[in-house]
């Protein structure tokens, strides 16, 4: 019985060490890439960046000619996002502090839209996911902001967004944005942020 208890204790200790170690050893880079903030701006105007996005599937513009208040032109705009990054060491007690070898170059990102009700079929319930290219260097000791495309033009011309042009329905999603990069010595690193995106044919001011 004593041996059984000893074996169980060893197994529990091993399981605990694996679950804690995964956090520390996730990826080979000695630093984490973190997102300080993720904001979005609606296309087609001087919209202020916000922590959520009202993505208009169609805007009626009245300039330039031949567009006018009497004959507005239906127009599609993409929507942009801005992410602010920094790097932090995985082992905060380790010395030396992060160096230029730990700087991270972000090279691409992926956007996936999800709904809280579980209806997540791309092209039916939510827009299709997509990959985009972006280049930004996240240095040591300073935050770095980078802009990216959050909602593409083509998404507003495809189902399910194109149907919203003639509907009062609003589709609420959570956009998961994952950024990928490498540190100076080639270790792969990534981070994911989320932002709420509401799609609809909203009123034009």
What pLDDT does 80 receive? Answer: 96
Beta carbons of 190 and 138 less than 8 angstroms apart: no
Distance, in Å, from the CA atom of 79 to the CA atom of 115, rounded to the nearest integer, reads 19
What pLDDT does 141 receive? Answer: 81
CATH topology of domain 29-200: Immunoglobulin-like (2.60.40)
What pLDDT does 95 receive? Answer: 54
Torsional class of 109: left (φ above 0), alpha (ψ -120 to 50), beta (otherwise):
beta
DSSP notation for 58-79:
-EEE--STT--SSSPEEE---E
What pLDDT does 97 receive? Answer: 66
Residues in Cβ contact with 133 at an 8 Å cutoff, skipping those fewer than 6 apart:
107, 108
What pLDDT does 101 receive? Answer: 84
Across the chain, which has 205 residues, the per-10-residue mean pLDDT values are: 45 39 54 94 84 95 91 95 93 68 94 95 98 95 94 97 95 98 94 97 82
User: What pLDDT digit, counting tens, does each position of 71-126 carry?
Assistant: 999 999 999 999 999 998 887 766 556 778 889 999 999 999 999 899 999 999 99
């Amino acid at each position: 019985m004593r041996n059984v208890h000893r074996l169980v204790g060893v197994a529990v200790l091993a399981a605990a060490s694996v679950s804690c170690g995964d956090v520390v050893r996730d990826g080979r880079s000695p630093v984490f890439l973190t997102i300080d903030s993720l904001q979005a701006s609606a296309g087609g105007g001087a919209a202020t960046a916000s922590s959520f996005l009202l993505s208009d599937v169609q805007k009626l513009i009245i300039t330039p000619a031949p567009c006018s208040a009497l004959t507005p032109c239906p127009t599609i705009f993409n929507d942009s996002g801005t992410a602010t990054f920094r790097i932090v060491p995985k082992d905060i007690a380790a010395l030396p502090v992060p160096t230029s070898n730990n700087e991270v170059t972000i090279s691409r990102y992926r956007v996936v839209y999800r709904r809280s009700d579980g209806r997540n079929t791309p092209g039916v319930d939510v827009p299709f996911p997509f990959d985009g290219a972006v280049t930004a260097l996240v240095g040591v000791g300073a935050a770095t902001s980078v802009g990216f495309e959050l909602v593409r033009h083509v998404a507003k011309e495809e189902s399910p967004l194109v149907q919203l042009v003639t509907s009062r329905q609003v589709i609420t999603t959570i956009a998961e944005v994952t950024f990928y990069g490498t540190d100076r010595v080639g270790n792969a690193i990534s981070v994911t942020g989320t932002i709420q995106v509401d799609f609809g044919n909203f009123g034009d001011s």
